[in-house]
Amino acid sequence: MAKAAAGDGGADSSIADQLRALGVKGVLVQMAERGQLLVLECEMPQCYHHNGRGAFDPVTMPRTKWAPSPDHYPVLKSAGGHLAPENVRLSHVWCNNLDYGWRKRIGTLLAKGKSLAEIAEALNRKGVPPAHGRNRWTAAMVRKAYVS
């Protein structure tokens, strides 16, 4: 697995230190200090960073698309989920935003009775990007991403 450039100690405290070095505060640092984050990697089902899940930009105002961000998971913010250690996964800002978009679209098409192959085709037609390293959505990718 890819490691962040800031260090590769692997101990929980080093993850917290790496997060702080990136300018991250709050729940992600707290989780790392508690041994609840084992690697500094984007945990979204689909990651779009060309250098891999472990590459992050420092936090700036506004955040760049590759800055670290806490994703509400498993309970979405829109469903009342909070940013607490039991409901957070580490994400890139961009991967988090795209996740919301394709997840909503897949859910709508599933409700309409579309097959996974039809949904993959629809995502490709609409230009929804698949994860980095993939050219097109496939039926299997749609299912795997949706249930992740």
Q: Measured from the CB atom, is 49 or 89 closer to Zn ion?
A: 49
In whole angstroms, give the CA distance from residue 94 to residue 66.
6
Q: Of residues 5-24, which lie at the interface with Zn ion (CB under 5 A)?
A: none
* Stretch in the footprint of Zn ion (CB under 5 A) among 26-34, 36-44, 67-75, 128-136: 36-44
| Cβ-based nearer residue to Zn ion, 44 or 142 | 44
How many chain residues are in contact with Zn ion, going by CB under 5 A?
5
Q: Which two tokens stand for residue 137?
A: 């959505």
Contacts with 126 (C-beta within 8 Å, 6 or more apart), sequence order: 105
Report the residue number whose CB is nearest to Zn ion: 42
What does each C-alpha distance from 13 to 35, 38, 133, 134, 135 come to in angstroms? Answer: 8, 10, 31, 34, 37
Cα distance between the two ends of the chain = 19
**Least CB distance from residue 129 to Zn ion, whole Å?**
12
Of residues 38-57, those binding Zn ion (CB under 5 A): 42, 47, 49
Q: Which is nearer to Zn ion, 29 or 45 (CB)?
A: 45
Shortest CB 53 distance to Zn ion, Å: 6
- CA 74 → CA 79, 80, 89, 131, distances in Å? 10, 11, 8, 20
Between 83 and 112, how does the x/- string for binding to Zn ion read (CB under 5 A)?
---------x--x-----------------
Say if residues 101 and 128 touch (Cβ distance below 8 Å).
yes
Contact residues toward Zn ion (CB under 5 A) are 42, 47, 49, 92, 95
